[in-house]
Amino acid sequence: MLINSYLHRVIQLLENDTTTLPELNQADMYYSRASAMIPPSDVYMYERENLKKASNDLLVVKYPQVAYQMITDPTQTLDTIDQARIYLPKSFNIGP
C-alpha cells in the first residue's frame, strides 16, 4: 500500500501545472523510496518497470516546465537560472 501511495503522490505532484522545485524534489524522493521498497527479484520486475515508466514519462514533461517557470520568473536570480540549466538536460537524459 505504501508503494502505491508513493506512486500516486508522485503522479499527483508531477501532473500539477504549477509544480514548484521543492515539490519536484519531493516527487523524486517519493520515487526513490518506492523503488527501494520493491524487492529486486524477477517476480516484482513488472512493478518496478511500471513505477519507472510512470515517473519517467511525467518527468520528461515536468523538468522542462519547471525550468521554463524558473527562467521566466520576474524575480529570477543567477541561482535559479543555474538550477533551470540543470533540469533541461535531465529531461533529455530520461527520454527523447
The full DSSP string for the chain is: -HHHHHHHHHHHHHH-TT--HHHHHHHHHHHHHHHHHS-SSGGGHHHHHHHHHHHHHHHHHHHHHHHHHHHH-TT--HHHHHHHHHHHHHHHHH--
Give the pLDDT confidence of 25-54 residue by residue, as tens digits: 787 788 888 888 888 888 888 878 877 887
User: What does the DSSP 8-state code read for residue 34?
Assistant: H
- Give counts: helices (H), strands (E), the chain: 4, 0
Full residue range of the structural domain in which residue 19 is found: 2-94
pLDDT for the residue numbered 63: 79
pTM of the predicted structure, to 2 decimals: 0.62
Domains in the chain, number? 1
